[in-house]
Structure 1
Amino acid sequence: MARTVAQVIVDSLHQLGVQQVFGVVGDALNPLTDAIRRADGPEWVGCRHEEAAAFAAGAQSQLTGTLGVCMGTVGPGSVHLLNGLYDAAKSHTPVLAIAGQVPLADMGSDTFQEVDNDLLFRDVAVFRATITSPDQLPGLLEHAVRTALARKGVAVLTVPGDLGDREVPDDREPRFALPRTGSRPDDPELADAAGLLDAADRVTLLVGRGARHARADVLRLAERLAAPMVLTLKAKEGFEEDNPFEVGQTGLIGNPAAAKALDDADTLLLLGTDFPYREWYPTGKKVVQVDSEAAHIGRRVPVDAPLVGDVGPTVRGLLGLLAKEKDPGHLKRARERFDHWRSSQLKLASPRHDESLLGKVRAGLDNRDHLIRPEALAAAVDGAAADDAVFTSDTGMATVWLSRFVRMRGTRRLLGSYNLGSMANALPQALGAQFLDRDRQVVAFCGDGGLSMLLGDVLTLRTYQLPVKLVLFDNRRLGMVKLEQEQAGLPEFGTELDNPDFAAVASALGITGIRVTDPAQLKEAVREAFATEGPVLLDVLTNPDEISVPPKPTVEQGWGFAIAKAKEFLRSAGDTD
């Protein structure tokens, strides 16, 4: 029996195991959404904004390693997908976007809502094509899906409005299977790298998400090299817990122990990471880099021993070649620094911190209104959340507090816009994650700027009764921008947000809203939020002047803060210069 273009696409998504398709209905998508309605396959999820739909699809892809799917209709509907698709592309995760288009006869006529999708998605997509005949299916769809999966990127398939209901003459089932791949470098390259590592007195590992599936091998290598292990943010979920070599993160959100472990090494070993911040790499070191993508080798820091291959087999190859035992002193010193730093951070996270002598002095400088410190909120959530919770975080200060105070113990997972750095990602990514498993706890660390940007999709949580816990760091600021301005010696400008009572807004939208203004009520409010069934928005008024001290603060940054605060004081006194 012949099937329509829409039916072939929807049946194929079912064959691929796609559970949900995210989007906003309309015109050119009508044949596709009707096919979903009638099929026994993927569930249609109607979002309030296509950007949220793309973020949700990308989140599912990152969590499962399989294809995420979203749809946007003609013109603006497809344009709205772009930011979420860029996040998927930068996260190297496979997503298929079905984009609507005007009817074939109208294409190229600059008719109402017409957009050239093949041009629009040129930069973001590893594959893009417009179906111009039913005869192109299922071949064109196979090509799109295989490319997205093989290249771990975005594929965009455009469907004109008058093609969805046309019959496909070839009724064969599409074939999507890809051969499994696994690679390791040649023996001479491994021998060169092993020689460099053997010759080193102090080795430090920088480990990224690309090493997550080789955890046991990486831990054995760290033990063999007596090497402290610095983690990228995306490697937290795989390497943070039960790891005697871990010393936390580097970069702006990192800690002094990790920065010192990198500086003190004479050889760095990069495993499955494309950590982009060049200023945080120490200079004058020998560098060995392992990455499955040859193009990633050496693009952040000069590399002496490039190893193109999967982390697992490459590390196993190195283990068989290493001969020299390392002195454990480098590792021991790094771990002692890290433990000391963590202890000091936990003191900051106490809800009663400002009652101590040091806390009273500090509060006199940066928290005169005795607002809730964001460290305390993050630590309280860490203590209340399940060991298998999925966390998402908005770009900015919410990610800083999660990075420092939430441990990825058990089987916790972590998602964020950590490559693109978009605002407003935490809510829609949590939405996608919760659809995968309604019984698994999903927690979104939201900034007030990010949440308000895509606030409409709180209604999607309500509509589908997704029990996501939205933890709102309500500091009435674009906090990271404020920090950037003050580090540069500029007075805060344009970052203040005129926020509503978000808990009241949540209640008006039909979900539970809890507002916290008193540090003494924080722990109980967090407990209540996690004990409440269904979606919850926990609106916590946090201190807007909290400073996240970087691992290696500079004199220039210190002067910048001093100058900025002086300018802010003068401005508050009426000076508008």
Structure 2
Amino acid sequence: MARTVARVIIDALQELGVRHVFGVVGDALNPLTDAIRSTEGVEWVGCRHEEAAAFAAGAQSQLSGTLGVCMGTVGPGAVHLLNGLYDAAKSRTPVLAITGQVPLTEIGSDYFQEVDNDLLFRDVAVFRATVTSPDQMPRLLESAVRAAISESGVAVLTVPGDLGDQEIGDDRPARFPRTRPVTRPDEPGILEAAELINAADKVTLLVGRGARQAREEVLTLAERTAAPMVLSLKAKEGFEESNEYQVGQTGLIGNPAASRALDGCDLLVMLGTDFPYRDWYPTGCKVVQIDVQERNLGRRIPLDAGLAGDVGATLRALLPHLSEGADRDRRHLESARKEFVHWQAGQAKLADPSHDERLTGRLRRALDNPGHDIRPEALAAAVNELADQDAVFTSDTGMATVWLSRFVTMHGERRLLGSYNLGSMANAMPQALGAQLWAPDRQVIAFCGDGGLSMLLGDLMTIKTHRLPVKLVVFDNRRLGMVKLEQEQAGLAEFGTELDNPDFAAVANALGLTGIRVTDPATVHDSVRRALSTPGPVLLDVLTNPQELAVPGKPTVQQGWGFAIAKLKETLQSKED
């Protein structure tokens, strides 16, 4: 029996194992959503905003390692997908976006809601095409999915509203790749890198997400070279637990030990990372980089050896050429680890709920927390202590990510998601939505900034509609906190960052979720416990200190002066007001 274009698409998604399709319904999508309605095993997840749909699809793709799918109808519906799709593209995860289009005969006529999707998605998509004839199916769909999977990116397939219910002549099922190639460099490149590593006295590893499937090989390299291991934020998930070499993160969210490990090395080995902040790289040392993406090699720092290949396969070829680690001087590693443990102890004191009642805490509170608001460190530490061993965490860009990076440990089977490459606001809640549907029996916790949550607040109703037991922890500091910090470090008075927030817990209760508002530092621990143990979706609205300062691992004199000048300007402005 002949099938329609829409039926071919949805049957193919079912065969691929896609369980959820996220989007907002619309007339151009009607044939597709009707096909979903009658397809067992594929669920339509109607969101309140297409951006949330794209974030949710990207989250499922990152967690599962397979294709995520979202849809947006003609014109504005497709446009709204863009930000979430950019996040998927920069996270290098395969997502298929199916977009509607005006009737085929009206394309190019400036028809109502007409947008040139092939042009619109040109920058974000590794593949984009508009179906102009039923006879192009299933070939065009196969091309879109193959591109998304093989290039770990976004594919956009546009279907005009009058084509979805047309029958196709080719009744064969769509066919898709089931295996991925594993690559490694040639032998001369391996030997060149081995020679550099064997000759180095003080080696530091900078480890990223691309090395997560090679944990044992990376740990063996660290042992052979007596190397401290600096982790990117995305590498916390695979390398933080039971790792006597790791010294945390670098950059603005980092710590002094990571900075010491980088600045003190004579050889930096980069593994599966494209860490973008050049100011935080060491100078005057040799550099070896291993990355499956050849275009990443040398993009951030000049290389002495660049190896294009899978990190695990490359290290398996490299390790036999390295000298044993017994004769290595371990002082570089031991110094970095000692400083890291000392820094962690200091952070633990800041996270102690009784910190502000001690002498040093009272002095600090008089300067930066006269309103006795809750310290965000204490909130993050409480969540870390009480969360499940297999919890899935998401975090909004900004200060919520800072607190997660410093106080939440990715041990056990914990997973971590965030907009860590695009740096978008408003990602944590919709990513948690997608994560909870992907793993309905696991605890999903979103670290939400108040600015991020309010940007896509409507999709709290999606969580309610689907009865998803997501736990939303809101760091409610009534600020765009990271922007405030950036302004002050530059010597600028805070401006435009204050948020006139509602009572988010009351909003949640009104929408049918459980809302809990926390204003007393003494109740943080019990409130977190209550939120995590309450069945169904919960929003924990915690009033945190808006003046909290996250000191980077390597603060500069310029930043210090900038902060002092900014505070003086803010004080003078306050007196004028």
- Fold conserved between structures, TM > 0.5: yes
SS, match of residue 418 in structure 1: coil
Q: How does 1:298-377 map to 2 (within 5 A)?
A: 298-323=298-323, 325=325, 326-377=328-379
SS, match of residue 540 in structure 1: strand
Residue number in structure 1 paired with 2:407: 405
SS, match of residue 289 in structure 2: strand
SS, match of residue 538 in structure 1: strand
SS, match of residue 359 in structure 1: helix
Residue number in structure 1 paired with 2:38: 38
| Equivalent AA in structure 1 for residue 518 of structure 2 | V
Residue number in structure 2 paired with 1:247: 247
Residue number in structure 1 paired with 2:527: 525
Residue by residue over 1:87-114, the C-alpha shift from the partner in whole angstroms, topping out at 9 and shown as x without a partner, is 0000000000000000001110001000
SS, match of residue 56 in structure 1: helix
Gaps of 5+ in 2: none
Q: Distance in 2 between matches of 1:228 and 1:82?
A: 39
**Which residue of 437, 444, 459 corresponds with 1:435?**
437
Q: Distance in 2 between matches of 1:551 and 1:436?
A: 36
Quote the offset at 1:304 in angstroms: 0.2
Residue number in structure 2 paired with 1:186: 186
Residue number in structure 1 paired with 2:502: 500
Residue number in structure 2 paired with 1:104: 104
Q: Distance in 2 between matches of 1:323 and 1:383?
A: 41
Residue number in structure 1 paired with 2:574: 572
SS, match of residue 351 in structure 1: coil
Residue number in structure 2 paired with 1:199: 199
Residue number in structure 1 paired with 2:217: 217
How many pairs were matched up? 575
Quote the offset at 1:180 in angstroms: 2.7
**Which residue of 475, 483, 486 corresponds with 2:485?**
483
Q: Distance in 1 between matches of 2:22 and 2:166?
A: 23
Q: Structure 1 stretches (4+) deviating beyond 2 angstroms? A: none
How high is the sequence identity, in percent, across the aligned residues?
74
Residue number in structure 2 paired with 1:58: 58
Q: Distance in 1 between matches of 2:324 and 2:428?
A: 46
Residue number in structure 2 paired with 1:545: 547
Quote the offset at 1:179 in angstroms: 3.7
TM-score when normalising by structure 2: 0.99
Residues 372, 542 of structure 1: 8 Å contact kept = yes
Quote the offset at 1:165 in angstroms: 0.6
Q: Distance in 2 between matches of 1:323 and 1:117?
A: 55
Quote the offset at 1:40 in angstroms: 1.4
| Equivalent AA in structure 2 for residue 491 of structure 1 | A
| Equivalent AA in structure 1 for residue 119 of structure 2 | L
Q: Distance in 2 between matches of 1:419 and 1:437?
A: 24
Residue by residue over 1:233-263, the C-alpha shift from the partner in whole angstroms, topping out at 9 and shown as x without a partner, is 0000000010010000001100000000000
Quote the offset at 1:178 in angstroms: 4.3
Q: Distance in 2 between matches of 1:122 and 1:101?
A: 16
Q: Distance in 2 between matches of 1:31 and 1:188?
A: 55
SS, match of residue 205 in structure 2: strand
Q: Distance in 1 between matches of 2:564 and 2:197?
A: 44
Q: How does 1:33-182 map to 2 (within 5 A)?
A: 33-182=33-182
Residues 150, 178 of structure 1: 8 Å contact kept = no
Residues 11, 41 of structure 1: 8 Å contact kept = no
Quote the offset at 1:324 in angstroms: 5.4
SS, match of residue 48 in structure 1: coil
Residue number in structure 1 paired with 2:466: 464
TM-score when normalising by structure 1: 0.99
SS, match of residue 205 in structure 1: strand
Is the aligned partner of 1:17 residue 2:17? yes
Residues 204, 229 of structure 1: 8 Å contact kept = yes
Q: Distance in 2 between matches of 1:312 and 1:80?
A: 38
Residue by residue over 1:128-151, the C-alpha shift from the partner in whole angstroms, topping out at 9 and shown as x without a partner, is 000000000000000000000000
Residues 10, 41 of structure 1: 8 Å contact kept = no
Q: Distance in 2 between matches of 1:125 and 1:41?
A: 27
Residues 224, 323 of structure 2: 8 Å contact kept = no
Q: How does 1:278-293 map to 2 (within 5 A)?
A: 278-293=278-293
Residues 382, 406 of structure 1: 8 Å contact kept = yes
Quote the offset at 1:527 in angstroms: 0.5
SS, match of residue 573 in structure 1: helix
* Most deviating of 319-328 and 275-284: 319-328
Residue by residue over 1:76-95, the C-alpha shift from the partner in whole angstroms, topping out at 9 and shown as x without a partner, is 00000000000000000000
Is the aligned partner of 1:418 residue 2:458? no
Q: Distance in 1 between matches of 2:560 and 2:336?
A: 26
Residues 198, 324 of structure 1: 8 Å contact kept = no
Q: Distance in 2 between matches of 1:68 and 1:350?
A: 40
| Equivalent AA in structure 1 for residue 446 of structure 2 | A
* Most deviating of 91-100 and 315-324: 315-324
| Equivalent AA in structure 2 for residue 377 of structure 1 | L
Residue number in structure 1 paired with 2:258: 258
Is the aligned partner of 1:393 residue 2:395? yes
Residues 150, 180 of structure 2: 8 Å contact kept = no
Residue number in structure 2 paired with 1:8: 8
**Which residue of 541, 548, 557 corresponds with 1:555?**
557
Q: Distance in 1 between matches of 2:513 and 2:352?
A: 29
SS, match of residue 180 in structure 1: coil
| Equivalent AA in structure 1 for residue 344 of structure 2 | R
Residues 240, 410 of structure 2: 8 Å contact kept = yes
Residues 134, 167 of structure 2: 8 Å contact kept = yes
Quote the offset at 1:572 in angstroms: 0.5
SS, match of residue 247 in structure 2: strand
Q: Distance in 2 between matches of 1:467 and 1:427?
A: 12
Quote the offset at 1:317 in angstroms: 1.4
SS, match of residue 158 in structure 1: strand
Residue by residue over 1:24-62, the C-alpha shift from the partner in whole angstroms, topping out at 9 and shown as x without a partner, is 001000000000001113100000000000000000000
Residues 102, 160 of structure 1: 8 Å contact kept = yes
Task: Indicate the RMSD between aligned Cα atoms, in angstroms.
Answer: 0.7
Quote the offset at 1:318 in angstroms: 1.5
Residue number in structure 2 paired with 1:271: 271
Residue by residue over 1:154-213, the C-alpha shift from the partner in whole angstroms, topping out at 9 and shown as x without a partner, is 000000000011001100011102443111111111111111011100000000000000
Q: Distance in 2 between matches of 1:330 and 1:272?
A: 23
Is the aligned partner of 1:234 residue 2:255? no
SS, match of residue 321 in structure 2: coil
Q: Distance in 2 between matches of 1:173 and 1:160?
A: 21
Q: Distance in 2 between matches of 1:181 and 1:107?
A: 39
